[in-house]
Structure 1
Amino acid sequence: MAQAMVTTSTNAKKVNDPTPVKTLEVLEVLASVNGGMGVTEISRALNLSKSTVHRILTALVERQYVLKDETSRRYRLGFKLLLLSSQVLDSLELRQIARPELVELANKSRETVHLVWLEGDEGVYVEKIDTPETIGLLSRVGKRVPLYSTAVGKTMLAFMEDKRLASYLARVKLTPVTPNTITDPIMLKEHLVRVRQQGFALDCEENRLGVICVAAPIFHSNGQVIAAISISGPEFRFPVARAQELGPVVREAALRISKKLGFIQGF
């Protein structure tokens, strides 16, 4: 028997996405069975109309989250979901690998230390070690931050491929977060060249007034920048000069983490 051809229907017409909840329900019901399901089966299982199910599946197939077997007319989960899940697993693994270095930086600086994961056009706090001092920072794991106005973000932008950086600058509006935020794309690119040269970035009250930060990038084994670590503190206790002094320390800590992930190059 000839093997059925599985396609992603890339030529399908664009459709309006249905509600997110219904879309998630379709993904969940497909995950609950082996061998895939047809439109009628999904419709009955979720008590949705066939037209609604078909619209949802068309959108998911276009984005490769679902694959359609053109012979059997059945749908199953696509491999793109593995990419999303692997990113989550990578971030969890990174936390375990990075934590000893974060603790050492926290002990050395006595300031707040963060591990930030690169996700799309933003950074996401995935680990935090608080300062032992009375006054700390109001940050939390799970919080998202801009790339262009933060030390962690700028150090990741600085080590992106040129094409990816150009796409980011064309897509993201550089809105001022504080009066110190760099909002001119040309100036930001010039700034990133200097960041790349020294291997770490400073945030001089660019994302929050009164807060100074120094950060360095973390690389995966494939050479792609995936995260950053940072030391942050209030300006009265953690001035720019102190952040600059700790820049090489943060850079070396980030490089040690990168090497544990399989990265074999240096800055």
Structure 2
Amino acid sequence: MQSKNKTVMRSMEILNLFINHAKLTFNEIIELSGIPKTSVYRMLQSLEEMALIDKDQHGKYSLGILFLRFGHLVSERIDIRQVALPSMEKVHKATGEAVNLIIRDGDESVYIEKLQSIQPVRLYTTIGRRSPLYAGACPRAILSFLPAQEREDYLARVELIPYAKGTISTMEALRHSISEARNRGYTKSFSELEDYTAAIAVPIFDHRGDVVAALSVAGIETNYTEETLDDFIALAKEAAAEVSLKLGYSDS
């Protein structure tokens, strides 16, 4: 049993090399893994037979087709709400503020999970609520990290309709906000969807590096001071990074 476990662990060490390397030669695998040559040879043969590893005409190894099939199954079956909920609960416990999770649906965002604020005055956001991608910290966290061409196509067709006194109303201001978000890694809003409310939000990425959701901390504007904002941002970033990691994202 111990011998079998050791073989499995060493095989995983070899497979893990391909997280950061698209292709590797036999000698590179030996050098990077530190596993004896004869053991690497036997394990590569077995991994090839199981379609977990593929060898091209130049003798270089890469992940096999089976991983692609498994990858599609995993991505199709992941419930992002269930993945994100534990991280959201930690933020909620630490802040007492509302914590929201949204995804994109066309040119809109949809709230798919919310933990209600424990504050006496609460925001009017419900699961299923829709908002335009340009308005509010959470929707704009998705917009800001879309691929450049996709983002530009959206900006070319969107009409900036005001929802509250702080809604972004000019394309110049929207572009500035997007640029700022991409530099800082988060978005913030004040009275954009409702008057006297505020939020900060962080994007969530999947295994391909695509933005698939956003997580926000939201509440009454008076609670979002210089003293509290840094804490809220740090907590939201940590939570979003946890969820992204669970979805297979790597920023390396």
TM superposition score category, shorter chain reference:
0.5 to 0.7
* Structure 1 residue matching 2:180: 3-state secondary structure: helix
Task: Please tell me whether the aligned partners of residues 200 and 216 of structure 1 are also in contact (alpha carbons under 8 angstroms).
Answer: yes
Q: Are residue 235 (structure 1) and residue 217 (structure 2) matched? A: no
Task: Please tell me whether the aligned partners of residues 213 and 243 of structure 1 are also in contact (alpha carbons under 8 angstroms).
Answer: no
- Aligned residues between the structures: 179
TM-score by length of 2: 0.66
Task: Please tell me whether the aligned partners of residues 212 and 243 of structure 1 are also in contact (alpha carbons under 8 angstroms).
Answer: no
Mapping of 1:1-267 within 5 angstroms?
93-239=79-225, 241-265=227-251
TM-superposed deviation, 1:223: 1.0
TM-superposed deviation, 1:245: 3.6
Hey, what's the Cα distance between the residues in 2 that align with 1:131 and 1:182? 25
Distance 1:191 1:241, change over 3 A: farther
Residues 154-184 of structure 1: per-residue CA shift (max 9 Å, x gap): 1111111110111111111011222322121
**Unmatched 5+ stretches in structure 1:** 1-85
Hey, what's the Cα distance between the residues in 2 that align with 1:252 and 1:197? 17
Residues 72-93 of structure 1: per-residue CA shift (max 9 Å, x gap): xxxxxxxxxxxxxx9x966x71
Hey, what's the Cα distance between the residues in 2 that align with 1:139 and 1:89? 28
TM-superposed deviation, 1:188: 1.1
* Structure 2 residue matching 1:236: 3-state secondary structure: helix
TM-superposed deviation, 1:127: 0.4
TM-superposed deviation, 1:226: 0.9
2:43 is matched with none
**Unmatched 5+ stretches in structure 2:** 1-72
The residue type paired with residue 243 of structure 2 is I
1:53 is matched with none
* Structure 2 residue matching 1:179: 3-state secondary structure: coil
1:42 is matched with none
TM-score by length of 1: 0.63
Task: Please tell me whether the aligned partners of residues 214 and 244 of structure 1 are also in contact (alpha carbons under 8 angstroms).
Answer: no
Higher helix share: 2
* Structure 1 residue matching 2:200: 3-state secondary structure: strand
Residues 216-255 of structure 1: per-residue CA shift (max 9 Å, x gap): 0001111111110001111233446523442122112101
Distance 1:187 1:134, change over 3 A: closer
Hey, what's the Cα distance between the residues in 2 that align with 1:89 and 1:126? 17
Hey, what's the Cα distance between the residues in 2 that align with 1:122 and 1:96? 22
Hey, what's the Cα distance between the residues in 2 that align with 1:240 and 1:185? 27
2:61 is matched with none
Hey, what's the Cα distance between the residues in 2 that align with 1:241 and 1:184? 29
TM-superposed deviation, 1:129: 0.6
The residue type paired with residue 153 of structure 2 is S
Hey, what's the Cα distance between the residues in 2 that align with 1:156 and 1:244? 21
Hey, what's the Cα distance between the residues in 2 that align with 1:161 and 1:241? 33
Hey, what's the Cα distance between the residues in 1 that align with 2:120 and 2:169? 33
